[in-house]
Amino acid sequence: MKTVASFLSSLLLATAAHANEPAAAPAKPDLGKGGTIASQVCAACHTADGSRGSPANPILQGQHADYLVKQLTEFKAGKRKNAIMNGMAAPLSEEDMRNVAAFYASKTAKPGFAKNKDTVALGEKIWRGGIAERAVPACAGCHGPTGAGIPAQYPRLAGQHGDYVEAQMNAFRSGARANAPMMMTIAAKMNDKEIKAVSDYVAGLR
């Protein structure tokens, strides 16, 4: 009996010691492997380095790696719906996602420009101060005064394609994009003119 008790005691101590061991940190992202994925899988829509491709697709240069991993994870899980991206993300492992996200994050984003000078003032007003009468918060509160964002929840928006931002705002408003409840609530309170104005303003932020 004593031997069994001693064995169980040793087993419990060993288990407790193992439980207290720090979890192994994930491997440092491999930018080379990330670049390979970018060139072979992502380049057709985002260009090989994530720069200023089609306005319908987001610029990935300089985007926060944590944010990109979050979006890829949610595309893969079907939490964020997009027929193309759901398929592209499906075969990616967690390591693949970290590698390609780090690759794009390592690039320096090029500046963009607003296209409509007539709505810049309205876009700036909403970005900096929100729309008080409808309890729409200032965009700068989460995305920063210069659009730098806060990883992993709030993406960098400075210089992003205005057309892409507008499309995402409309998707949040309609419920077609449902992976950010706060943005769905905010977009639901904005009209077409306001969404278009702030989206175009974002394109020129730097």
Is residue 181 within 8 A of residue 151, CB to CB? The reply is: no
Predicted confidence band of residue 23 (pLDDT cuts 50, 70, 90): low
Q: How confident is the model at residue 123, as a pLDDT?
A: 98
Which residue's structure tokens are 């929100």? 130
Q: Would you list the DSSP string of 130-145?
A: -BGGGTBPPTHHHH-T
Q: Average of pLDDT values for 51-75?
A: 96
Each residue's pLDDT tens digit, 67-125 = 999 999 999 999 999 999 999 999 999 999 999 999 999 999 889 999 999 999 999 99
